[in-house]
Amino acid sequence: MYDTTLSETRRRDWDGDATGTLRLAIVGCGNYARSVSIPAIVEGRYAEATVAVSGDPDKRASLADEFGVTAVDYDEYEAGAATDEYDAVYVATPNRLHLPHVRTAASHGKHVICEKPLEATVARAEELVAACEDAGVRLMTAYRMQTDPVMRRLREFVADGGIGDLRRATGDFAFPVLGGGRDPDQWRLDGRLAGGGALYDVGVYPLNTARFLAGDDPVAVSATTRSPDPAFDEVDQYADFRVEFDDWVGGFSAAFSGREHTFLELLGSDGRVAVESAFQPGVARDVTVETAEGRVAVADAGADETVEEFDYFAHAVLSDGDIEPDGADGLVDMRTLKAIQESAASGARVEL
């Protein structure tokens, strides 16, 4: 069974009869959007970047020159500038700014793909989802790992009983947010803008991906966080959290310091799957599957999941197809992250 699973780690199971191209406005053109997201959109099949929204005039000029987009500022975006040049909006601004930018997109009748976590607080995330529902526009939470073909094949494998009954998942994401000379004044270290530190920014990856592979939602959490470096006095520098599900438990960690590292493992009654380099964008995954049938290891599995992410969203809008990582999915994680913060503050287990 696992031979078939690991031989199809580039198959798009969602790619059907969509025709045309979805034109995207990129709202928030920081380093990630410029260096990862926009190039992925350009590389893909179903989406194209046609408008860029930035508050920096030099950046607007650079984006227009490099990508051939129409560049506007935030006031122009809110006022409806260039709405005839895009069909949907990709929101990649700091977490606490997602709500107003999504609300603007919805008011213009534009579909939305919004970076995760959806917002800085649960209440604001709920308003964001409601704004899209009230306007009748599609909303996708930008969980790129859910669109990586290798993760989709592993989900099928787990659902088919490939490792028996799931007992435990572990996952880690360490990202040195101040490494490489990165600005210490960045928004990720601003508690109000970010909502949380390593937990919100990278901890959501093992949490959501494990949920996706298992098809389950949490029932309780317990956690600790710490920030020994004064640079992280407004957000968590390290987070370790235990997430309980009905029949299994997850143990996850997130870090804003140390060597970059990502890993995900699922242990079942009859087997194991493990993914090295599990969450970095555009990095080849190394996958190991162990069952009673034997052990199989595959290097360079999957595809560029950011290309997959935008093509998945565009295809769903163009074909009126399902969007799995929708607003409801994003809200599950927002409520779980809030419970994790409450547990870390109180030292108590928190039920969901």
Contact of 239 with 253, CB cutoff 8 Å:
yes
Tens-place pLDDT, residues 105-150? 999 999 999 999 999 999 999 999 999 999 999 999 999 999 999 9
Taking the C-alpha atoms of residue 194 and residue 20, their distance in angstroms, rounded to an integer, is 36
Q: How confident is the model at residue 308 (pLDDT cuts 50, 70, 90)?
A: very high
Contact of 8 with 309, CB cutoff 8 Å:
no
Q: How many CB atoms lie under 10 A from the CB of residue 209?
A: 28
* Cα dihedral 150, 151, 152, 154 sign: positive
Taking the C-alpha atoms of residue 325 and residue 321, their distance in angstroms, rounded to an integer, is 12
What pLDDT sits at residue 17?
A: 77
Tens-place pLDDT, residues 143-154? 999 999 999 999
What pLDDT sits at residue 3?
A: 59
- Is it the case that residue 233 has pLDDT exceeding 90? yes
Q: How confident is the model at residue 283 (pLDDT cuts 50, 70, 90)?
A: confident
Q: How far is CA 180 from CA 217, 257, 259, in A?
A: 36, 12, 12
Phi and psi at residue 325, to the nearest 5°: -80, 70
- Is it the case that residue 157 has pLDDT exceeding 80? yes
To the nearest whole number, what is the mean pLDDT of the chain? 95
All residues at 6 or more sequence positions from 297 whose CB lies less than 8 Å from its CB, including other chains = 286, 287, 288, 289
Asked if the peptide bond before residue 117 counts as cis, ω within 30 degrees of 0, the response is yes
Taking the C-alpha atoms of residue 300 and residue 44, their distance in angstroms, rounded to an integer, is 20
* Cα dihedral 88, 92, 95, 96 sign: negative
Q: How confident is the model at residue 190 (pLDDT cuts 50, 70, 90)?
A: very high
Q: Locate CATH 3.30.360.10 in the chain.
A: 145-303+325-351
Q: How confident is the model at residue 82 (pLDDT cuts 50, 70, 90)?
A: very high
Contact of 162 with 135, CB cutoff 8 Å:
no
Q: Could you tell me the CATH superfamily of domain 145-303+325-351?
A: Dihydrodipicolinate Reductase; domain 2 (3.30.360.10)
Give the architecture-level CATH label for domain 12-143.
3-Layer(aba) Sandwich (3.40)
Taking the C-alpha atoms of residue 269 and residue 204, their distance in angstroms, rounded to an integer, is 26
Q: How confident is the model at residue 2 (pLDDT cuts 50, 70, 90)?
A: low
All residues at 6 or more sequence positions from 221 whose CB lies less than 8 Å from its CB, including other chains = 241, 242, 243, 244, 336, 339, 340, 343, 349, 350, 352
Q: How confident is the model at residue 5 (pLDDT cuts 50, 70, 90)?
A: low
Per-residue pLDDT averaged across 205-234, rounded? 98
% of residues, the chain, pLDDT over 90: 91
